[in-house]
Amino acid sequence: MHISEGILSFPVLLSGWVYTGGGLFWTLKKLSANDIPKMALLAAVFFVASLIHVPLGPSSVHLLLNGLIGVLLGSLALPTLFISLFLQAILFQFGGITVLGINTLLMSLPAILAGVLFKLKPSSLWGGILSGFAVLGSGVIAALVLSFSGEAFLQVAKLILIAHLPIAIIETIIGYFTLLFIFKTKPELILNNLGSKS
Amino acid sequence: MLKKAIFTIILILGLTALASAHRVNIFCFVEGKKISCEANYPSGDKVKHGTINLKEAETQKTLASKKTDLEGKASFEITQDILARKKDLEAEVLAGMGHRNTWTIPYSDLNAESSEISSKENTGSNTSLPWESNTSTPASATSVDKQELEMLISKIMDKKLHPVLEKLTLLQERKISLPDILAGLGYILGLMGISFYFLAKKNEK
């Protein structure tokens, strides 16, 4: 779900960068040394996950894992996803530099929301469900952004949601098992995060 | 339990096709009187029913628009209107959900076609007056033959060169390679090191 360059209008691109820039400044200010290896690991996971894709209709969809990253990192998902998306843009030509702001927002907003909701009920099943819903959330934001630049919102939203439904289901399962694994082996990875600020 | 979880994750990842996705490619080449375009994803999947717009590169004015077939292909006729513009063209593919890419077709590529059309016009004027060709000198008769021969050769060449052109164009695709992936992971590690460095410096103060 990377929006390519040349589709969005300038005001949309600019506001994407402004919000992403503000978010980066705010989240990086409270960065602690303990978060960095976790962020780097998950950035690498997100970077590589986009290579696993499923062809669907005229388009093709790939694993996002943004929900899981949000559940594990909270608001630090924003800088993590920003770095991965930046590397994907320069190395794989997914998306692009001008749309990086918007692409970061559409991936990280549902991720951060998933992180906040996960704190209410930290269980692997709930985390899995949130991981799936974050994918759909990104789809809705993508449709909204595209609608600002001319495409009919409902039509695009329907198309994106249908296309990402299989991915959402797969990510729910992946999220569930990953969290189950972490809860059994290294629960402090999640619990530490729950104790800190969002 | 852990083994089960890891096994399940590997199984799920295995079920979804591993490929180098998520950007859309478009390739175009001029053959004869048409511009052939093909759109695909880096994984090799074709862009089915995607839209290809033929635009004037400078002004971004859409001259023609077509949907791709099941093989991700669409072709446009080179009309006199397009030739008269004497401008480079740009083919734009819109594959839905925010996927877009472009391919530039220089005017020089179309130019070869224009000379063919003009030579055809010359031939046409010659053949429309058969009595003249009867009375004409042997020199002009050979020039008509020459033009016809040229057209015939160029037609055959177009036909023969089509697969070669198609392959050459598709070869320009930049595929995602292992070094790209490793570079990305390396950058992430590097950034981690840099952040540690700055955090340590901050703590020192």
Q: Does residue A3 sit within a domain? A: no
Alpha-carbon separation of residue A127 from A114, A173, A174 (angstroms): 8, 10, 10
Is the pLDDT at B21 greater than 50? The verdict is no
Higher-pLDDT residue of A42, A149: A42
CB contact under 8 A, B22 and A54: no
Is the pLDDT at B188 greater than 90? The verdict is yes
Give the chain B residue whose CA is nearest to the CA of A156. B97
Give the domain range for residue B138: 22-175
Amino acid at B176: I
- Cβ-Cβ contacts under 8 Å, A55 against chain B: 17, 41, 43, 45
pLDDT at B171: 78
Reported ipTM: 0.84
Q: Does residue A2 sit within a domain? A: no
Q: Does residue A123 sit within a domain? A: yes
- The arithmetic mean of pLDDT across residues A145-171, rounded, is 82
Q: Does residue B183 sit within a domain? A: no
- The domain total for chain A is 1
Q: Does residue B33 sit within a domain? A: yes
Give the domain range for residue A165: 10-51+60-195
Q: How many CB pairs under 8 A join A and B?
A: 144
- Cβ-Cβ contacts under 8 Å, A5 against chain B: 100
Is the pLDDT at B136 greater than 90? The verdict is no
pLDDT at B113: 52
- Cβ-Cβ contacts under 8 Å, A185 against chain B: 2
* Contact status of B10 with chain A (Cβ, < 8 Å): no
Angle between helices B107-127 and B138-171 (to 10 degrees): 150
Is the pLDDT at B20 greater than 50? The verdict is no
> Which among A39, A51, A146 has CB closest to B98?
A146
Mutate one of B22, B92, B104 to test the A interface: name it (highest A CB count within 10 A): B22
Angle between helices A100-120 and A124-148 (to 10 degrees): 150
Q: Is the pTM here over 0.90, yes or no?
A: no
Q: Does residue A26 sit within a domain? A: yes
| CATH code, domain carrying B78 | 2.60.40.10
* Contact status of B183 with chain A (Cβ, < 8 Å): yes
Q: What is the distance in angstroms between the Cα of B166 and the nearest Cα belonging to chain A?
A: 21
Are the CB atoms for B102 and B60 separated by under 8 Å?
Answer: no
φ, ψ at A143 (rounded to 5°): -65, -40
pLDDT at A21: 96
| CATH code, domain carrying A190 | 1.10.1760.20
